[in-house]
A and B are shown apart, each in its own frame.
Chain A
């Protein structure tokens, strides 16, 4: 097995007396889709916020491609190839979809203020190339028809896919998707699953938080289960699904016992 794309070691964060993430270790192999699941309040989004740099861990390390990143601000982590979406969509509402995706290319674009003011050839070439690439990414997520529309005016499901497009514009080495299917209707969920399937085929490495179990089971190569901030199980989807501790965490002790007794 090759070196991990992302590895968390004994990651812990305490808010006062509460350990929201408690001694969690996991590693994501390049080119895989890794699911992070657990009941509400298990600490999944907190793990995402730690990895993307919105929170600082109380202890433990976060390594991206073997480099420790836990002390870096979020924008530096983006520079190392980390991109994310948000559980509650965070749009640049006034921007068009095209501008939104181009904003995701910020770090790839080199033209500074002087080149921008003088409208040098270099600046125009770079802007055109970015625009063309943004249209390709919008094609990939199925939004190129909406390129000129205000991001904030797009339907909910489209906004979720635009967020993914914006993250893809970073050409990420690791893509963190926080509940991408949340609030979607079945047909939107199906579209999303197709999209993530295509991304997987193209070799993207994805860490995914999601509540829709069928979605997670079909898509993920590996799953880590959290409960009350602690890791309670990990492994391949079929193994995790039949793990008694996981069933207990989701359904409660009594149901889990009756299920165990019944089978």
Chain B
């Protein structure tokens, strides 16, 4: 990573809040990964599992094979993508909750596999992962992902995705290939979650199987539920709020679960479209009629 000279104030701030700043970026990526699936009207509870696959893949590639960070992160995206293809192909042909069920299953299978394999360090996990990721790689990845998603949303792909979410039958009747779009979205979301996992492994230096369980999956889902789906910015806002909240409410530490749970319930009941209801246009050019 190139060295940047930062003003002292920022430097101090980063030193104190380094973990929080990293978490914000990584949670932003996870929120985007959740958004991509929800944007086509599907529910996945496997984002934490995809993240775990990415974390383990990149950690093992660096630890055992000595790969560089960019190469390890590429691995962190491709392996979850392969897992998404394998569970998505059969389940996405069906409509309903099959994907949600299959992805819960993926999370459990993966956790048990990591716990029981010596290769992945068993229940103790992997430690001594070189901390090669940092501000630039995390926020660079987040920015690139955000820009790509904004551009794709403002095209026929974005229109097709929103149409599927609003009314799958009508979207299919317009010629939108539903299984292909659902699978594409799941694979893209697995890559984003895997990338977040890879970055996480390379800033925290230690990962364990229990970091990527059902709790984490629900937290990632709540980022998007709180933020909304009107644009890719909305789930990031949700992630920022739900990441900062435990810090702000540190005095309520004992009631943290209660407070954040209540916030989610209130958000879902009274703001079904999330906090950021602004909806991004879906046309790639000006929507005005040329005179």
Contact = CB atoms under 8 A, between A and B. Distances in A.
Interface stretch (B153-161, B189-197, B252-260): B153-161
B167 A148 contact: no
B7 interface: no
B2 interface: no
A75 B178 contact: yes
A104 B172 CA distance: 10
Given A84-B173, A90-B167, A92-B162, A123 B287 contact: no
Contact of B176 (A75, A83, A117): A75
Most chain B beta-carbon neighbours within 10 Å: one of A75, A117, A123, A144: A75
A102 B176 CA distance: 12
Residue of A74, A83, A93, A123 contacting most chain B CB atoms (<10 Å): A74
A105 B160 CA distance: 10
B282 interface: yes
A113 interface: yes
A96 to B, nearest CB: 7
Contacts of A83: 173-174
Contacts of A104: 174
B152 interface: yes
A73 B286 CA distance: 34
B184 to A, nearest CB: 9
Contact of A109 (B156, B169, B282): B156
Given A79-B175, A123-B284, A116 B156 contact: yes
Contacts of A164: none
Contacts of B282: 95, 99, 102
Contact of B283 (A92, A111, A113, A127): A127
Interface string A160-173: 00000010001000
Interface string B161-192: 01100110111111111100000000000000
A111 B175 contact: no
Nearest to B284: A127
Contact of A103 (B174, B230, B287): B174
Interface stretch (A128-136, A203-211, A235-243, A246-254): A128-136
B279 interface: yes
A166 B152 contact: no
Contacts of B289: 131-132, 135, 144, 147
Nearest to B159: A103
A106 interface: yes
Contacts of B174: 75, 78, 83, 103-104, 106-107, 166, 170
A119 B284 contact: yes
18 contacts: A53-B173, A75-B178, A78-B173, A91-B170, A92-B170, A93-B166, A94-B166, A94-B230, A94-B279, A95-B163, A98-B287, A102-B156, A106-B156, A106-B160, A106-B176, A113-B157, A131-B286, A148-B287
Interface of A: 52-54, 73-75, 78-79, 83-84, 86, 90-96, 98-99, 102-107, 109, 111, 113, 116-117, 119, 123-124, 127-128, 130-132, 135, 144, 147-148, 166, 170
Given A74-B173, A106-B175, 10 more contacts: A54-B173, A73-B178, A75-B176, A95-B159, A98-B287, A102-B159, A105-B156, A113-B155, A128-B290, A170-B174
